[in-house]
Amino acid sequence: MAALPGAAAPRLLLIPSKAAEAPGPAAARHLSVVLPAGADPGLPGMETTQPARKRQRLTHLSPEEKALRRKLKNRVAAQSARDRKKARMTELEQQVVELEEENQKLLRENQLLRERTCNLVRENQELRCRLGLDTLKTEEE
């Protein structure tokens, strides 16, 4: 079969079969489908296989160039780590400020509640005294 100039080559798609869902030795089976050139592989459950990308070899670089490249990558990585550390410190400092503000708010609220409790205890005592006096007056009559 001769390829036409400008025509795309057929693609191989792997489709998991129903047997692949079952446990056992046949679980690794896939159905192979060859799509004609220009066919849409966008059907559900279909995946195109692409070759894995490999890292570029550095054999063409001299030892000095390799060392320079390594130093540059290390410098970039170190700066990135410093930036992440600075961002984390800023975030933690902001959290400290927020927690201190919340703590002050809770301390004020606690103080107000203590004062209110004291006032209520005092008022309760006064009412008990009044009731005690009122009961004495009614007993005398």
| Tens-place pLDDT, residues 60-102 | 888 899 999 999 999 999 999 999 999 999 999 999 999 999 9
Helix (H) or strand (E) holding 24: none
Position 119 pLDDT exceeds 90: yes
The confidence score (pLDDT) of residue 74 equals 98
Give the Cα separation of 113 and 56 in Å (integer): 70
Position 17 pLDDT exceeds 70: no
Percent of the chain scoring above 90 in pLDDT: 45
- Rounded mean pLDDT, 7-11: 59
Helix (H) or strand (E) holding 110: helix 63-140
Supply 69's token pair. 């490249």
The confidence score (pLDDT) of residue 55 equals 72
Give the Cα separation of 120 and 133 in Å (integer): 20
Query: Biggest alpha carbon distance in the chain?
Result: 127
Count Cα neighbours of 127 within 13 Å in the Cβ-side half-sphere. Answer: 6
